[in-house]
């Protein structure tokens, strides 16, 4: 099986932690700061950080439109926290000029859990992952206010005032979480994303050879 090449958008945020988690799961990794660094990638991670700043920097460095086109064309993408905001098609409580990459047919509320001082940890049962619930770190986190019919809800908050709020979703090859699994040492979500990238590569190889594509859950 070929080694997937996965980039991490490196304009701001917890880039090194994502690079380390993806590398540990068998991916070749690259930090992405310029449009030309998107070439040859099999997947992209949009990390946590400050979504407004990340959007402005992506626009300034000429990355926004190439990222939109890559995700629209089926490149697997995974966003955490601010990355969820940037991968959403619609935002609430956002500056009117804030750009997004899109790819998820969801409405996301920015800073839904409050400010930095309101950061917290909780457990989240994540659909499709074996083992115990994830220990989830929420830092000025968003949540999904509304998900369209084609979006799979993977995780919700359990207990507390935000009980039932959606904090993990998937639509075809695009995954997003409100929380930061790269900060806990639990690599199961990264392993899931690397598997999505590998399956997408296998599907492309099947198409290239004329063989019927395999049954890939959520494939584009």
Catalytic: which of 17, 18, 25, 180? 180
Helix (H, G, I), strand (E, B) or coil at 72: helix
Instruction: Look up 36 and say whether it is catalytic.
Output: no
Q: Which two tokens stand for residue 83?
A: 């990355």
What does the alpha-carbon distance between residue 154 and residue 166 come to, in Å, rounded to a whole number? 8
Look up 200 and say whether it is catalytic: no
What per-residue string of b and e applies to 70-106 under the rule 16 or more CB within 10 Å gives b?
Answer: bbeebbbbbbbbbbbbbbbeebeebeeeebbbbbbbb
| Of 18, 182, 190, 200, catalytic | 182
List Cβ neighbours of 35 (8 Å cut-off, separation of 6 or more): 61, 62, 63, 66
Q: Which of 17, 18, 25, 81 is catalytic?
A: 81
Q: Would residue 182 show up in a list of annotated catalytic residues for this protein?
A: yes
Active site residues: 81, 180, 182
């Amino acid at each position: 099986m070929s080694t997937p090449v996965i980039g991490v958008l490196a304009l701001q945020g917890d880039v090194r932690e994502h690079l380390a988690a993806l590398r540990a799961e068998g991916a070749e990794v690259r930090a992405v700061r310029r449009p030309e660094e998107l070439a040859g990638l099999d997947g992209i991670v949009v990390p946590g950080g400050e979504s407004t700043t990340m959007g402005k920097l992506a626009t300034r460095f000429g990355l926004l439109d190439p990222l939109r086109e890559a995700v629209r064309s089926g490149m697997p993408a995974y966003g955490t926290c601010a990355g969820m905001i940037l991968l959403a098609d619609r935002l609430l409580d956002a500056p009117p000029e804030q750009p997004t990459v899109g790819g998820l047919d969801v409405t996301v509320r920015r800073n839904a859990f409050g400010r930095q001082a309101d950061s917290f940890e909780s457990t989240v049962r994540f659909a499709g992952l074996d083992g115990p619930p994830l220990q989830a770190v929420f830092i000025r986190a968003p949540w999904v206010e509304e998900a369209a019919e084609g979006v799979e809800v993977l995780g919700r908050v359990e207990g507390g005032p935000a009980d039932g709020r959606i904090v993990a979703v998937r639509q075809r090859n695009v995954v997003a979480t409100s929380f930061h699994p790269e900060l806990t040492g639990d690599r199961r979500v990264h392993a899931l994303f690397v598997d999505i990238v590998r399956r997408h590569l296998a599907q492309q190889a099947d198409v290239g050879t004329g063989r019927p594509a395999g049954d890939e859950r959520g494939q584009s």
